[in-house]
Amino acid sequence: MANSHRLLLENAQQVVLVCARGERYLAGPALRSLAVLEGASLVVGTDGFIKAIGPADAIQRQFSGDTFEERIDCSGKCVLPGLVDAHTHPVWAGERVHEFAMKLAGATYMDIHQAGGGINFTVEHTRHASEEELYGSFRGRLQCMQRAGSTLVECKSGYGLDLDTELKMLRVIERARRELHLGLSATYCGAHSVPKGKTAIEATDDIISNHLPRLKELRENGELHVDNIDVFCEKGVFDLDTTRRILEGGKKMGLQINFHGDELHPMKAAELGAELGAQAISHLEEVSDEGITAMAAARCAAILLPTTAYMLRLKQPRARKMLDEGVIVALGSDFNPNAYCFSMPMVMHLACVNMRMSMPEALAAATINAAYALGKSHTHGSLEVGKQGDVVIIHASRWEHLIYQFGGHHELIDYVIVKGRVIYKK
């Protein structure tokens, strides 16, 4: 009796598996070359998971009598895993295009922040925006990310800084998780900044006594899915002690620790994250040598954000040193009003040029390692039997075109597929 399947991708010039042996991440020498098949086909089952990958003729024989809801001829094209964006701030109101001009004229991130701009400006507008308005703009941003090849996106709250607005943002993320086809990982980032009129200690006390208990209740009754807890550990924001208290509170209720550290000043955030068993730490432009060693030993992922260093003219994170020391390096777009980039292909290109990563390192960092940073690499981040059928098909003879071409990825990407269903077609 013939079996029925959701999708057959046939005769691809290249299928980039990224991993072929069930690895949860790639680090060190394993990054030199990724697993790639030439002249291959791939089958996704009706459950949305990958059933088979192999040489086109072998797949044709194995599935000869079976039916498929959709077949795509991939002759002359490359098939890659859906991209994973490990760090974004996509729910907000309050454009900051005017601040870009200030930065170009020499104002620093902290200059703007202290003058009431930056996060504070967005917080004001986000507090006043309705849930419906926030959802509309958020959905539009996710669609832009999806057209650029992202199939799993980490999304932070953090422009509320009071319980009501933080919950409003998390409800918007929850609604998108239920209604849209994209995979989302939700992060509570109530400690993104110290709210006006409070000290960092007062803000920390409020988060621990009010925000986290309410969040725990909403998670337990299934109203909100929250995966991660984040804190902006930075000079003049949350110091090591307040950061530790908040992260420990989140860990106690089952959230993965995934926070901003060592961005503008060396804070020993990497050492703290390694000690607390953090899943990931983002930014790390100012990380210490000891912090790098500690993260490698603790298998704590480094989420590097080449757009931020580029737009704020900061020194680039030391990706080469991290890679050489065996740190699990991931990438994110840091999409937010301060770094307006939807595109992981552009992020990978910047990572190669400005952070001196190789193309295989950058692709692994935007797939399997980004999935690991979100605690989802058992189901996402590579094309292997048993994993979710999230795929990008590009119109090019070699997969490297996705990184080599700077911008113009909309011309290159023919299909974006989640769970074997086409969610974008050029």
Closest CA to 83 of 366, 383, 406: 366
Task: Give the sign of the dihedral formed by CA 169, CA 170, CA 172, CA 177.
Answer: positive
* Tokens standing for residue 227: 């995966």
- With 70 as the cut, is the pLDDT of residue 3 above it? yes
Q: What is the pLDDT of residue 269?
A: 98
Distances (CA, A) of 325 to 29, 369, 374, 422: 10, 16, 21, 39
Residues near 272 by beta carbon (within 8 Å), at least 6 away in sequence: 233, 240, 243, 244, 247, 261
Task: State pLDDT tens for residues 105-120.
Answer: 999 888 888 888 888 8
Average pLDDT over residues 340-358: 98
- With 90 as the cut, is the pLDDT of residue 15 above it? yes
Angle between helix 269-276 and helix 240-252 axes, rounded to 10 deg = 20
* Tokens standing for residue 184: 């989302």
Average pLDDT over residues 308-328: 96
Q: What is the pLDDT of residue 114?
A: 80
Q: What is the pLDDT of residue 160?
A: 97
- With 70 as the cut, is the pLDDT of residue 319 above it? yes
Q: pLDDT > 90: what percent of the chain? A: 92
Q: What is the pLDDT of residue 115?
A: 81
Q: What is the pLDDT of residue 68?
A: 97
Other beta carbons less than 10 A from residue 69's beta carbon: 13
DSSP-assigned letter for residue 403: H
Check if the beta carbon of residue 192 is closer than 8 Å to that of residue 161. Answer: yes
Task: State pLDDT tens for residues 65-96.
Answer: 999 999 999 999 999 999 999 999 999 999 89
Average pLDDT over residues 368-389: 98
Q: Which of 272-304 are b and which e, b meaning 16 or more Cβ less than 10 Å from the residue's Cβ?
A: bbbebebbbbbbbbbbbeebbbbbbebbbbbbb
Average pLDDT over residues 205-231: 98
> Could you tell me the residue ranges of all domains in the chain?
4-81+383-425, 83-374
- With 70 as the cut, is the pLDDT of residue 1 above it? no
* Domain 4-81+383-425 coded CATH 2.30.40.10: yes
**CA torsion, points 216, 220, 224, 228, in degrees to nearest 10?**
50
Q: Is 49 helix (H, G, I), strand (E, B) or coil?
A: strand
Q: How far apart are CA 14 and CA 120, in angstroms?
A: 47
Return the CATH architecture of domain 83-374: Alpha-Beta Barrel (3.20)
Check if the beta carbon of residue 45 is closer than 8 Å to that of residue 14. Answer: no
Angle between helix 163-179 and helix 212-220 axes, rounded to 10 deg = 30
Task: State pLDDT tens for residues 179-195.
Answer: 999 999 999 999 999 99
